[in-house]
Structure 1
Amino acid sequence: MDERVPLIKRDNSSLQQKKNSHKSEYTKAKLSLFVMINYFAIEFAGLTQPQYIYSYLENALESNNTSVDIHNNISSNHQNNCFNKSSSSADESREQASSWTWYISLAEYGVAFPVLFYIGPLTDRIGRKPLLLYNTVMVFISFVLKTIVVYGRFPLQYYVAASAIEGLAGTPFAFNLINHAIIADTTTLGNDRSLMMMIYDALLGLGAICSNIGTGYLIQLLGFTYPYLVSSGLLLILPILIFCTLEETWKPPKDKSKTSVFKLPIKNFTLCFKRQHVSNKLGYFIANLFILLLVIFPYTSISSILTLFLLGEPFCWTSEHIGWYNAGVDFVKYIGGTTMLKIMHSCCVWLKDEIIIVFAMLSSIAYLILMGFSNNDWMVYGAGFAAIFRVLCIPLLKATLSRKVNPTKQGVMFSNVYLFEVLSVLSGSTTFNNIYRQTLTVYRGFIFFIMAGFPVSGLILMGFVSCFDSTTIQKELVIEKVDIQVPSSENDVKGVLITQI
């Protein structure tokens, strides 16, 4: 080796790698803060929404009782009225509340569906940060309008219109889509990515825990307007933080060709029809995408139905009680689930994500079945504890799909995932809210048994996919005869090379 050759180039390369590594860690830390602020704000108002609608309709039906004011101590009056009024009156309030919840979901996610067709491909073309700013600003405008509607006690039709503006932002699904693309930019393949996606969901849970505890007491003390005010204030701060602190993590290709606006959404379907974008079997990728749909379908519609379920007989919970329960369940799911995942990744290296997904599906099934049978508070608490592994299913399936897609198509891949989620919300809200209304007089918990059928179907399909994948791997080991030319003074030597295709 020539001693005069400088080693600066090698040192610069090493320093650049360390710099990029530190930059990725800082980006993850900033992302964690943004996620907590956003989800706290969204959940703070989201938990208030079904309770506000229920109370609004409850007071509209009780025209003879004019002493109850929706801005004041609704929560304490609700528990007294719940046991005193007839079962038919309570069921009517819940039926109407369920219908209005469906209208709001239809306006919000019906508008968001075509928006998400564009956001995914655009993140791969113009970058992550501009679209993240667009989403947060539009959501802020929507929440300001919702605050005005709730404060002025305007008809619920105005609330539906404000929700449609949130749909133009792409809803929180667009926010999560872009953030998952950023995670894919700043993580390596393997357990690092799946763990970071689980931490992302755990941060969502941490924001939910804080909002669950605070929402009930704020409603109890100050009424329904103040949760919306708090959410609007936080959503004002969020785009300012993103603009000032977040650096772009994705550099769009310089030689990008011009694409028609109408052709851009077609890019969402390229993953399902072009093998060069998927690093594994295309059928295996589509099957995992369908399993994700089966898991998400009941998951996206359960929150509002569960709130209405617990507000009515035989529970008659107050907003504080519901808040503490949701906080406890979120703590068990997100904090406990993330801890268990880290332990399994550290202590059981042989344990694949697919096996953990099976445990998560079983946990989800147990939660829904126990909730369906619940007729007292302790059974509801037991169902919440059974959900400890449930939260692992969705982030691990997303990580599995992300690992099988080329880095240049991460935005499109997550766009597909969240388009499935929007479809799940739209169809799930229609399906489950209608079933809930029709089965209230028959059996109040029947809806949860129907929801449990979807993770059961996903579990069966997961078994078939796992068996097919293991069989395929065994068949891929083939023996080929290859001529190897070895320099020799005598004869050439021919060997047999065992290769893995």
Structure 2
Amino acid sequence: MAWRQSYSLQALESEDTLPTVTSNKTTYSAETGSPGSRYVANGTTVPETQYPNTAFSKDVDNRSPDNTQDETVAEVKSSKHLVMRFLLLGFIMMSLIYSFTLAQLVTVQYMYAYIRKSLFPNVSFSTNESECQINTTSQLYRDQQTVQKLVAQLNIYGELAKGIPAICCIFFYGSLSDKYGRKTIILIPFIGNMIKCILTTIGTYLNWNIYIFIVFSFIDGCGGGWVLAMSIVMSIVADVTKPGKTRTFVIAMTELSLGFGLIIGGFTSGFIIKAEGFTIAMVVSACCSLLPVILLIFVQETLHKPKEKERKSVAQLAVDIYVFYFRDSALYGKRKVFVVCILIYFFIIQSAFGANGIEPLYVLNSPFCWSSVRVGIYITVRTGLPFVTGMLFFGPLQRCLDECVIAAIATLSNLAGFALEAFSYNTVMLFIVPVLSFARTMAVPVVRGVMSRLTPPGKQGCMFAGIAIVETFCSLFGSVAANAIYGRTVEVFRGAAFLVLSGYLFVAFILSLVLYKLTRRLKADRQAK
């Protein structure tokens, strides 16, 4: 097992970057008199302990050009190694999210078809928008709403079965990554998702009772789900990057792996279902769930092996998450920022998971009555377009705007999309929704980056585990609440749930402005000192 290695991403740094040793214009001198001597570069004092793996030397000026060139080549190689590591992690997460997304979309549509066939075996619900039943007084329309309500109720049961154990497990698994290493713990959610996909495939093939699928969701929740996997990947990013815009940028790019998984999963789901049926679609999902387990062999460990005297019990590591957020002196003067960040994250993720739970049902219902292919295409555009625009615009916006302003723009964009979706009554209006939501993916990496930048290196696992707990709670409560609202209001106003999601984002927008003021004040206080 390879222990933590230090790398450099100086090409991406735009602030808090140390001068490189290869510059002919940079001079270094040592201030002696203490064990932790400091080095002065062009008048800037840098503690030796701040970057212990950086190639500083008291005799920098006396080094030969050949040695300097060798160190430059080594630095470039390490940067390439780091890029390859992130590409591998990105592909692993993309496989995981693809498997999860495909299974989720197949399961929802399978439950819809199963209940419809069980309750109304002699009734044919149209999957053609032009022939869709929109007469709210007809028996066919009322039957369709009955199916919608029952599927929404099943979604609630499934989310509860997955979310409750996941919240409990993440308290332990998240902090355990600081004890036993990232690579060991991330295997747990991979295996949980793999077992769920395999069992769901068997259940679909053998036409088991639909309620047994809730047990499969429980198994996935006991593994922590993809949320735990993502939090550990973010801890890996924090292990090998320096605080600042570099880390925020890498976090944003790592988040893209989720986007690609969602895009490919949404796009292919409808075509596979139409061509081969639900069972083959689940076989594909199960096969893809094996990839993260296999590819994990090639991932290097990034955490130092702790000394025996520093090892803590599992219970203490779980308590560490609570202590870090509420009592740790490391957050002295920063706790308000963390509270605001967590609240922003909560409302954004709450709206995202809420939408994921009801959008497939929304477009299967009147007046759309879409087929599985069209559902897949819409989910692809709805999730994929914002990820693409986020990838294109995040870097340029980061150079000219404060990151908190980017978060505010992202929440407003997301809010506008949900508001339009609530009142959509035709295909054109629905496909304008992702255009309005072009910036929706930019807020989450900003919040992660701000929190990671203010967190000491030894506390990154606890910090990201705390975020994972919030995200898991949102996956539970957000989807349950959205499905409950949708099931109760679908006959009165089918877009009511999306207006509630818009309300969440309005609160997040206000909190983004508060975060902007807090971070500006924190930066001013730091400069004053």
Q: Give the structure-2-normalised TM-score.
A: 0.82
Output the CA distance in 2 between the equivalents of 1:279 and 1:41: 41
Establish whether residue 251 from structure 1 lines up as the match of residue 279 from structure 2.
no
Q: 1:396 aligns with which of 446, 458, 462?
A: 446
Q: 1:427 aligns with which of 468, 477, 494?
A: 477
Output the CA distance in 2 between the equivalents of 1:432 and 1:398: 25
Q: What residue ranges of structure 1 are gaps of 5+ in the alignment?
A: 69-73, 478-498
Output the CA distance in 1 between the equivalents of 2:81 and 2:225: 28
Establish whether residue 288 from structure 1 lines up as the match of residue 341 from structure 2.
yes
| 1:119 corresponds to | 173
Say whether the 8 Å CA contact 2:455–2:463 is kept in structure 1: yes
Query: How many corresponding residue pairs?
Result: 467
Distance 1:23 1:255, change over 3 A: farther
| 2:371 corresponds to | 318
Q: What residue ranges of structure 2 are gaps of 5+ in the alignment?
A: 1-57
Establish whether residue 131 from structure 1 lines up as the match of residue 181 from structure 2.
no
After TM superposition, give the deviation of residue 311 of structure 1 in Å.
0.3
Output the CA distance in 2 between the equivalents of 1:88 and 1:115: 41
| 1:358 corresponds to | 408
Say whether the 8 Å CA contact 2:128–2:371 is kept in structure 1: no
SS in 1 for 2:339: helix
Q: 1:440 aligns with which of 479, 484, 490?
A: 490
Establish whether residue 178 from structure 1 lines up as the match of residue 178 from structure 2.
no
- 1:187-202 alignment to 2 at 5 Å? 187-202=241-256
After TM superposition, give the deviation of residue 314 of structure 1 in Å.
0.7
Instruction: Deviation per CA, 1:444-480: give whole Å up to 9, x if none.
Output: 1011111111111121122233334445655x38xxx
Q: 1:222 aligns with which of 272, 276, 280?
A: 276
| 2:100 corresponds to | 42
Output the CA distance in 2 between the equivalents of 1:63 and 1:469: 60
| 1:405 corresponds to | 455
1:324 partner letter: I
Instruction: Deviation per CA, 1:369-419: give whole Å up to 9, x if none.
Output: 101111111111111211110111112211111111111111111111110
| 2:324 corresponds to | 271
| 1:496 corresponds to | none
| 1:387 corresponds to | 437
Output the CA distance in 2 between the equivalents of 1:468 and 1:202: 28
Output the CA distance in 2 between the equivalents of 1:291 and 1:214: 32
Establish whether residue 27 from structure 1 lines up as the match of residue 85 from structure 2.
yes
After TM superposition, give the deviation of residue 254 of structure 1 in Å.
2.1
Output the CA distance in 2 between the equivalents of 1:17 and 1:256: 34
Say whether the 8 Å CA contact 2:356–2:479 is kept in structure 1: no
| 2:217 corresponds to | 163
2:362 partner letter: F
Output the CA distance in 2 between the equivalents of 1:102 and 1:464: 34
| 1:307 corresponds to | 360
After TM superposition, give the deviation of residue 104 of structure 1 in Å.
0.6
Q: Which deviates more from structure 2 when the two are superposed, residues 380-389 or residues 16-25?
A: 16-25
Distance 1:378 1:21, change over 3 A: same
After TM superposition, give the deviation of residue 9 of structure 1 in Å.
8.0
| 1:336 corresponds to | 389
Say whether the 8 Å CA contact 2:170–2:468 is kept in structure 1: yes
Say whether the 8 Å CA contact 1:367–1:386 is kept in structure 2: yes
Distance 1:76 1:294, change over 3 A: closer
Distance 1:32 1:226, change over 3 A: same
Output the CA distance in 1 between the equivalents of 2:130 and 2:147: 14
Output the CA distance in 2 between the equivalents of 1:392 and 1:309: 25
Say whether the 8 Å CA contact 1:79–1:318 is kept in structure 2: no
Q: 1:140 aligns with which of 180, 186, 194?
A: 194
Output the CA distance in 1 between the equivalents of 2:410 and 2:473: 22
Output the CA distance in 2 between the equivalents of 1:79 and 1:139: 38
Say whether the 8 Å CA contact 2:132–2:369 is kept in structure 1: no
| 1:415 corresponds to | 465
Say whether the 8 Å CA contact 1:107–1:167 is kept in structure 2: yes
Output the CA distance in 2 between the equivalents of 1:471 and 1:422: 31
Output the CA distance in 1 between the equivalents of 2:117 and 2:128: 11
Say whether the 8 Å CA contact 1:279–1:405 is kept in structure 2: no
Output the CA distance in 2 between the equivalents of 1:75 and 1:200: 40
SS in 1 for 2:441: helix
Q: 1:237 aligns with which of 287, 291, 302?
A: 291
Instruction: Deviation per CA, 1:413-454: give whole Å up to 9, x if none.
Output: 111111001111222233222111111121110111111111
Q: Give the structure-1-normalised TM-score.
A: 0.87
Distance 1:410 1:472, change over 3 A: closer
Q: 2:118 aligns with which of 38, 57, 60?
A: 60
SS in 2 for 1:442: coil
Instruction: Deviation per CA, 1:272-298: give whole Å up to 9, x if none.
Output: 234443386222122211111121112
Output the CA distance in 1 between the equivalents of 2:293 and 2:411: 36
Instruction: Deviation per CA, 1:310-341: give whole Å up to 9, x if none.
Output: 10001111111111112222331111111011
1:500 partner letter: A
Say whether the 8 Å CA contact 2:243–2:453 is kept in structure 1: yes
Establish whether residue 89 from structure 1 lines up as the match of residue 143 from structure 2.
yes
Q: Percent identity?
A: 25
Output the CA distance in 1 between the equivalents of 2:453 and 2:519: 16
1:261 partner letter: V
Say whether the 8 Å CA contact 1:209–1:326 is kept in structure 2: yes
